[in-house]
Structure 1
Amino acid sequence: MTEFKTAPPSGPRRRMVMTAGAAAIAALMGLTACGGDTGAAQTPAPENSIAVGEYPDYYPADYKDLVTAAEKEGGELTIYSNTDQENWDPILRDFKKKYPFVTKISANNLDSDEVFQKALSEKATNASSADVFVSNAAGAWADFAARKGMLADYTSPELAKLPKFASLLPGVVAMSADPQTIAFNTTLLEEKPESLEGLAAQIKAKPADFTNMIGVRDTTGAFGFTMFYNLTEAKPKSWDSIATILSASRPETSSGTLSEKVLAGEYKAGVLVTAAPAFPVVKNSNGLFDIALPTDGTVVIPRGLGISADAPHPATAKLFQDFVISQEGQQAVLEGGLSSYREGVKSVQFALTYQDVVSKVGEDNVIMAPYESVPADKVKAFTDRWQSLLK
């Protein structure tokens, strides 16, 4: 692999690296637009088989009454989410197959906290328009769900068939269980970073080569805080690796930004990057960009889904929740690049199931982020320690 032995780029050199990276990204975008791809991914996977009008025998006998009620709601559904359209496409496609009377679904892509801010603002003015909320901001979900009158009281018949972690809060279920990864530029690192400890070791070996060359998810945001707080709570020794990593890092606000800068060569690696938005970059990078699950602690953050108490289309929203966590729905979740968690889902290229994560790093090294608020004193203690380690 190529190694840059000189000091990290700055001034004109840095601009040259970023310009080259931008050109690489533009070229890759062009390949994507023209249908270019890597490996076997050039052949699209066949669409999922959906059983229209058929339901598992564990569904209630009167479930078709719910379907009838949904048919009378006009075939519309509005989702407030922090999920990319690329992730939604197979899910919405297959839900419409399951229920052909649903013809119009709006699913926006807000920031993880903005989903709840928008809902609360509309509630205050009696102008609620959302049917379903989707976000992976664990702490924000806990605060939101505790408020009266925000979430519908609905228990899906699918819940009993799911792992315990899928029931996140009263009225909130896991749509997916998304792992956080180390993203890296394959030409800039001497070896694949299989763990946080391994990445830290590379930095220690040649610290001058890594100054400001690691991107790290900013913990001032709710999602970044959730990642690293739960990692350090479950694996206190990870602070040793984090201290070394932060000494070479700059914080970034999103997995998308981290992925772009790693691909462009502005960073050698990004910590921690959500697998779902990283996989399209892996897919289209011609081997320049890759991700790894840290074997010394992989944080998995469920993507919560709940139904609005003021849903304009409540029956349709219930059908949607049931579908997303069903076997059919979880297959679509995986096809969209999010991590499904039901047993028996067929593998999809450039996507990971929860079972894949467990198989790779071991169950003891999977850290499932709980949906709960963190006391203010613990937030301060973590934040103070984190900030003291940034150079």
Structure 2
Amino acid sequence: MKALVLSGGAGTRLRPITHTSAKQLLPVANKPVLFYGLESIAAAGITEVGMIVGDTAAEIEAAVGDGSAFGLKVTYLPQERPLGLAHAVLIARDFLGDDDFVMYLGDNFVVGGISALVEEFRTRRPDAQILLTHVSDPRSFGVAELDASGRVVGLEEKPRHPKSDLALVGVYLFGPAVHEAVRAVQPSWRGELEITDAIQHLIDTRADVRCTLVEGYWKDTGDVGDMLEVNRTVLESLERRIDGEVDERSETVGRVVIEEGARILNSRIVGPAVIGSGTVVRDSYVGPFTSVAENCRITGSELEFSIVLRDSSIDGVGRIESSLIGRHVEVTPTARVPSAHRLVLGDHSKVQIRP
């Protein structure tokens, strides 16, 4: 069995962060979300991975390399532009051959991994197996319709009027029959070759399509709220570890990770939280569900339920919460007089300012 990991896409809902960084490499608990998927694939006993890459190919390749760090052998498969998940299967045809494969969206996060799912597929050998989960607003997802016996009878991509609240999770398992299906579909109203249409083709041609309801935690880390929520979930499983320096005027409470080379000076860190190597926290408070990456500076500030990427500084700005702060960012106070806000913001930014 092989794996096809999708690491292209523009990440428009995470702009302006993704103007300069691949969305799959944004960190969750200071580790790129893509790495969690690769670790799950390796844990399931799969070693050959085809990686679909687009405009951020160089960044993805620099981070993943040849895959050996994960116990994998990675082959990079360029996609000229995002033309749909079924198109990704089309361009991976030579790599996949007639082998069964798992298709994993690189910005998805599944707690507990996929080992049990892969083993179930290997045992039952259907033509396709999809994962489903209940969501509050299915209009943003591929949606499945089941009959009274629980069999999949219909799929629709981002429907205006969903027939159920069962969304497709970004992990799919396929046998070789899917190759004929992806060749049979036409571009959707979005101009993409939809994997939902390909699976519907399998259903219509009486192929064996099965589903598994995900009872555990799954998240598509497509926007800031989802990133913060996944970060919270991962941090809850932290085990306390203090490898860096914590001076006598500082306090660490609960499940806190202070990486080697980090320094905590006259500050209070309340877990679950992780402070990356080379980061200095001085005269500050870092509260629960916060990840601060490497080589940051937090001074005279409070930070909670947030993610701070590497090489950024937060200096004397009071309290920050529910925030995603990118790389090489400087957050500083403005002069009190005159009363005004001075902003330098990227495209599609969202800012909340007290009147």
Higher relative contact order (CA 8 A, sep 6+): 1
Q: Indicate whether the TM-score tops 0.5.
A: no
Calculate the TM-score normalised by the size of structure 2. Answer: 0.23
Calculate the TM-score normalised by the size of structure 1. Answer: 0.22
More helix per residue: 1 or 2?
1
More strand per residue: 1 or 2?
2
